[in-house]
Every structure is written in C-alpha cells, then in structure tokens.
Amino acid sequence: MILAERAAWLEAEATIARERAASSCTDALIARLKLEIEKLRREFYGTGSERKARLLDQLEMQEELEADATEDELAAEAATQKATVGSFERKRPARKPFPDHLPRERVIVAAPESCPCCGSPRLVKLGEDISETLEVKMIQTVRERFSCRACEAGSPPPAPFHVIPRGHAGPNLLAMVLFEKLGQHQPLNRQSECYVREGIDLPLSTLADHVGAYAAALRPLHVLLERHVMAVDHLHGDDTPVPIPAKGKTDTGRTWVYVRDDRPFGGAYPPAVLLQTSRDRSGDHPQRHLTHFAGIPQADAFAGYNRLLAPGRQPGPIVEALCWAHARRKFFELADIAANRRRERDAAPISPIAFEAVTRIDALFDIEREINGVGADQRRAVRQERSAPLIAELEAWMREHRARLFRHAPVAQAMDYMLRRGDSFTRFLDDGRVCLTNNAAERTLRGIALGRKAWLFAGSDRGAERAAVIYRLIGTARLNDIDLQAWLADVLARIADTPQNRLYDLLPWNWHAARKSGSLAA
C-alpha cells in the first residue's frame, strides 16, 4: 500500500509539472505572437511613443515567459523520470544551420582499441557522428563509428554534454550571455541583434531558453550560498526598488540583499551575497528572510525591521546597528558646495551647521580606514579610545544646536534622525565586528541600480526571482575577486557530473582556491 501510494503521488506530481510546463509554453507562445502583432502595427502605423513603450513591454514579457517555459520544461522532465506519466516536449522552431564562415575547431573522440562487447580488436570504421557546439568559436565533436568484425556490434562513443538538453550552446557561450545580461546590463534583445550582425541566428526566445536553463542548473548552489550567508551573527541588509508589471499598472517591487562580509575585522570566512524579491516593501518580507537568524543586522532605519527587535524572539534576539553613511548623507545634501553651485541663483545657501556635522562625522571615517582589516578586539579598543570621545562631543554639539532650530528645518530633521536612535548608532563602539556603515550591501545593489536603466523592469515575479538568484552568484563572485565569466562557464560544464556532497567545491571561493593551487584545470 505504501509503494502504491508513493507511485500515485509521484504520478500526480509529474502530471502537475507537465501541465505547468504546457501552460508556460502556451503563455510564451502568446507573448511571442503579441510581439509579432505589435511589430506589424508599428510598421503599418509608424512609430509612436506609446506604441514604442508597448513594444518594449512585450520584449521584456516574452523574455521572461520564454525563460519560465524552459525552467518548467526541465522540471517536468525531472519529475517524469520518477513516474509513468509521458514526458512533456515543448514545440520549438526548427533550428537553422550555422553559417559556413564561422571558424570551426574539430575535437576527435578517440576510437576504442577493442570491441566493448566481445573484446575483439577487429574494428571497422562505419562513419562519423558530428555534433556542433556554439562557443566563442564553433567546436565540432567528431565521434567515429566502428563495427566489430567478430560480433557485428557497434561501439559509438557518447555524445558531448550540453547544459541544455538537445541544445547546441556550450558552457562558455551560456556564461557569456548571462554575464552580458546581468553583469554588463545588456538585455537579450540587444544581444540577439549583435549575433545577427555576425551571421548567427540566435533569436530572443533561444537566449531566454538559455537563461532559464542556467537558472535551473545552478539551483543547488543557491541553497548552499543561502546556508553560508545565514550561518553568521552579523549581516548587512538593504533593499532597492524594482518595477514589476501588474494588471493595468506597474508595482514597485523590492530586491532585498543580505551580505556576509567578515573581511573588515579580519574574519576567515569568505564573503557571500543573498538576494530576495517581493512585490512590495512590507515588513513581513525581512521577517520571513531572517526567520532563522539571530545577531546583529546592520541596515538603515527602515520601520519594517522593528518587529525583528521584539523581546523574547526565537531562535534568538536581534540587536539593531544603524549605518553612519545614511546619517551623513542627510547632512551632506545640505552642505554639498558643488551641487549648490549648480543650482539656480535663488537657491538657498549651504547650511554651516550641516557642513560642521559632515566634518565631525568624517573624522570617524578616518579612524575606521586605519583599522580596516584588523581583529575585532583591536578595532573595539581603538574605537573606545579614539571614536567614543568624538561621538560624545558630536552628540553634545547636536543637542546644543538642535535646541535653537525650528523643528521642521531640514538640518533639525537630520539631527533628530541620529539623536532618536543613539544606541543603534553607537553599537559599533562595543563590538569590533560591526562596521561604521552599511556600504557592503549598497555596493551589491549598485549593479541592479545600473541594470535597471537598461532593462527597465522585471517582466514577472518569477523573472525578478530568477534575476535575484543570478545576481546572488554574480555578487558573491565579485566579492571574492574571481573571474566571473570563467567561473560561470566552468561550473556549467562540471555541475551535472559533480556529486551532491562535492558541490561545495564549485562555490566561488573554493573554486578560486583550487584553481590557484593548480588542482583545477585552467
């Protein structure tokens, strides 16, 4: 009965996966046809700002839906291997042959010296099987077919591995497409146009397939990175807006980042990044992300974190540490001389009080630069000796001037931001692991802020989630100072043959250490 129940459950799961893949394929087909209709209307009626905006929307939607369809198709294939339900096969356009002018490199698989069936050396060549893989250059894998004169058995060598089943793209090409899309902020439709100019037919739908297959292939690494980031008691956190289309409008979604970086206090653990996405900026999201975290999250004074500070929280308490860069920025905007010169003539002059506050805060930053990278105990000792008196003087100075200011004055609001949260701003004095700023998280979000100018918005919730997962890999690789594209290509080529208990070897810092020691082939 247990075996029967298990078989029925696997069959139901496979059926659901197959239906989900079919639905995603239909959505992608509809998006492709809508895009073709919009292109024809543009050619017939001409270009208009509103029609151009709809065309861009359709491009983004098709890209995300094609990637969703590929990801669901791979999930359906994995599910049907465990059940008796027929596998789902997505209908794809006929693949065009690669142009003859592309340079080709022939890789010949060595023929066997004897028949694998009977061991006889009497082999006769029957022909060749050629598989073409599109990399930075074309690679032809030649598999010579032989027949045994003794037992008439054939011995064809195995076909080369491709990340995408029945695909033709090699790991180097996939890594380059992904790096250009999210590392260099080059949308897929622009990449497709570049390939067309080189005589290579790689339409938008095909490139979107590549992105979806890549995200599905690397999901085991995402889990390992999440465990690594959350296995610590000090995190940097921040968020940035990411527009996501909705019915008749655009929602301002959010990408949340959590960074583990022990380098400022000489920690031995490698840095890593974790990104999550949501439709809004509700406080429920950081509460869900940090469910199993206990320690010190360093972020801005976002009210959504307040529920994490409740006493008696499980699995442990959370103590808030705020960012001095956020506090300094409020004064700097009022004391920016260069920006003031660019303003209109009747603009208000710079605030001397804000200028004095920036000067005093910069003295703290000078001390932090001197002790960056030393041990936590040494950092705490230096801060108690040199930074604590400066902060006491800063607080007394602000309270003195605050009493003379109107409560709605901009510089008064900047002072209140710090004075009302004094304990959280001075947390770094008692703990050498806490940084003065939250810039580690802001540097990670810089790539999303730059890319948002090119790709405008995430085409769907799943598209935003997929982008966040890949940005997680990109951010972690950059923090560990490794060749991002080389790492992506090597991981794609090796992850299918890597046992589950050896996946840690593919994480950026382990991969870099193995390559540096020479144990990993270049």
Lowest mean pLDDT: which of 167-171, 185-189, 295-299, 341-345? 341-345
Question: How many Å apart are CA 303 and CA 15, to the nearest integer?
Answer: 44
- Quick one: how many helices (H) and strands (E) in the chain? 18, 8
Strand partners, 143: 109, 129
Cβ atoms of 115 and 150 within 8 Å: the answer is yes
Task: Tell me: cis bond preceding 297? Omega within 30 of 0 counts.
Answer: no
Helix (H, G, I), strand (E, B) or coil at 230: helix
The token pair that represents 201 in the structure block: 């037919």
Q: What is the pLDDT of residues 466-502, one digit of tens each?
A: 888 888 888 999 999 998 888 988 998 888 888 888 9
What pLDDT, on a 0 to 100 scale, did the predictor assign at position 154?
Answer: 73
Higher pLDDT, 57 or 109: 109
Q: What is the pLDDT of residues 3-16, one digit of tens each?
A: 888 888 888 888 88
What pLDDT, on a 0 to 100 scale, did the predictor assign at position 87?
Answer: 52
- Segment (H or E) for 302: none
What pLDDT, on a 0 to 100 scale, did the predictor assign at position 340?
Answer: 54
Query: What values do phi and psi take at 459, rounded to 5?
Result: -70, -20
Indicate the pLDDT class of residue 246, thresholds 50, 70 and 90: confident
**Res 86 pLDDT > 70:** no
Nearest C-alpha neighbor of 59 from the set 454, 488, 365, 515: 454
Domain limits, the chain = 2-80, 104-165, 229-442
Question: How many Å apart are CA 245 and CA 461, to the nearest integer?
Answer: 9
Average pLDDT in the chain: 82
Lowest mean pLDDT: which of 146-160, 332-346, 488-502? 332-346
**Res 128 pLDDT > 90:** no
Cβ atoms of 62 and 31 within 8 Å: the answer is yes
Higher pLDDT, 67 or 61: 67
Residue 420's Cα: distance from chain center in Å?
A: 36
Cβ atoms of 258 and 289 within 8 Å: the answer is yes
Q: Which residues contact 138 (CB under 8 A, 6 or more apart)?
A: 98, 102, 103, 104, 105, 132
Cβ atoms of 258 and 278 within 8 Å: the answer is no
**Res 211 pLDDT > 80:** yes
Indicate the pLDDT class of residue 297, thresholds 50, 70 and 90: very high
Q: What is the pLDDT of residues 395-411, one digit of tens each?
A: 999 999 999 888 888 89
State how far the alpha carbon of 309 is from the alpha carbons of 294, 297, 444, 490, in Å.
Answer: 10, 10, 25, 42
What pLDDT, on a 0 to 100 scale, did the predictor assign at position 275?
Answer: 92
Q: How many CB atoms lie within 10 A of CB 394?
A: 18
Indicate the pLDDT class of residue 222, thresholds 50, 70 and 90: confident
Nearest C-alpha neighbor of 429 from the set 384, 483, 484: 384
Pairing of strands 249-260, 272-278: antiparallel
DSSP track, 408-470: TSHHHHHHHHHHTTHHHHTGGGT-TTS-S--HHHHHHHHHHHHHHHHH-S-SSHHHHHHHHHH
Question: How many Å apart are CA 62 and CA 459, to the nearest integer?
Answer: 8
What pLDDT, on a 0 to 100 scale, did the predictor assign at position 42?
Answer: 66
Nearest C-alpha neighbor of 242 from the set 450, 507, 3: 450
